[in-house]
Amino acid sequence: MGLLDDVLTVRDEQGNCPIVVALGEEKLYFLVERVKAIGGCANILIKMGDQVTMIASEHFNGGTSDAEDLSDISEWENGDTTIAMFVTYLRTKPNGVIMPRSLPKGPETKMLLGEKPVSMESIPALV
């Protein structure tokens, strides 16, 4: 057993504890893409200020749930909200939320290399 086995509650089909890291000021779009790239479930560690917050992302297999259903992608304008803002929202949802597999790109959804924007189309697909 590892030191973090009790903390990292999400496990994949092989029993591994997938981890995704993010900064609070990043766009939610990129976090959703990272989680999708490793199979859709992850222990997400988010650095916000001088703290690290953890979110568990697991597959929702249908059925009934008390989680708020945000999975209808047509209800999302885009994924440009910051991860920190989303975490603040999540704290008001004790039963969690059901997210879509991906989010629409918005006007602020861009990668930067130094201070120069990089075309999203020039980045190779992760999956």
Q: What is the pLDDT of residues 17-42, one digit of tens each?
A: 999 999 999 999 999 999 999 998 99
* Single-letter residue type at 57: S
Residues 6+ apart with CB under 8 A from 98: 60, 65, 67, 68, 69, 70, 71
Instruction: Check residue 91 and give left, alpha or beta (phi > 0: left; psi -120 to 50: alpha).
Output: alpha
* Tens digits of residue pLDDT in 52-87: 999 999 888 776 789 988 989 888 888 899 999 999
The pTM (predicted TM-score) of the whole model is 0.79
pLDDT, position 61: 76
In what helix (H) or strand (E) does residue 84 lie, and over which residues does it extend? Answer: helix 83-90
Q: Where are the beta strands (DSSP E) in 18-115?
A: 19-23, 42-48, 51-57, 68-69, 97-98, 111-113
